Amino acid sequence: MNGAQESFGALAAYRAVAAIDAAPEQLMKMAIEAAQRFLAEGEAAIAARDRQRKALALSSAGEVIEFMLGLSGSEQGPLSDRLARLYRFALAAILRGNAADDAEAVAAGGIAIAAIAALWRQRFPDAYTVS
């Protein structure tokens, strides 16, 4: 296993253990933060022309966002529909960025996730306080 795969594996293991007793809003916070880290890693890998690291990071970001997309349908309504559109936009941007080494597409996906993070911080400020 190379270093990049090892660090992503460790991060995944950490998230799995850390989420065991997490409240839903804390779990979503962890997912948002993980997606943002993976997207940043993908952008850095594109800049460094490291295609393997880019593919791994963006694949991981996509998996996290797919998880978030799955949660968005748990309660029907306009907010869930809007969140689902943002998640789908981010996924499409990740796919474009991965296929074409397009850092701008990845950044656009990151902007969508940042908008979701801002909404999440506003709606659930206690999830962002240090305990």
Q: Give residue-wise pLDDT tens across range 63-90.
A: 999 998 888 766 788 888 888 999 999 9
Q: Mean pLDDT over all residues of the chain?
A: 84
Model-wide pTM > 0.85: no
Interatomic CA distance for residues 3 and 9, integer angstroms = 10
Residue 11 has pLDDT above 60, yes or no: no
Residue 94 token pair: 């990740």
| pLDDT band, very low/low/confident/very high, at 129 (cuts 50, 70, 90) | low
Residue 111 token pair: 């902007």
Architecture per CATH, 3-128: Up-down Bundle (1.20)
Residue 18 has pLDDT above 60, yes or no: no
DSSP string covering 77-125, please? SHHHHHHHHHHHHHHHHHHHHHHHT-HHHHHHHHHHHHHHHHHHHHH-G
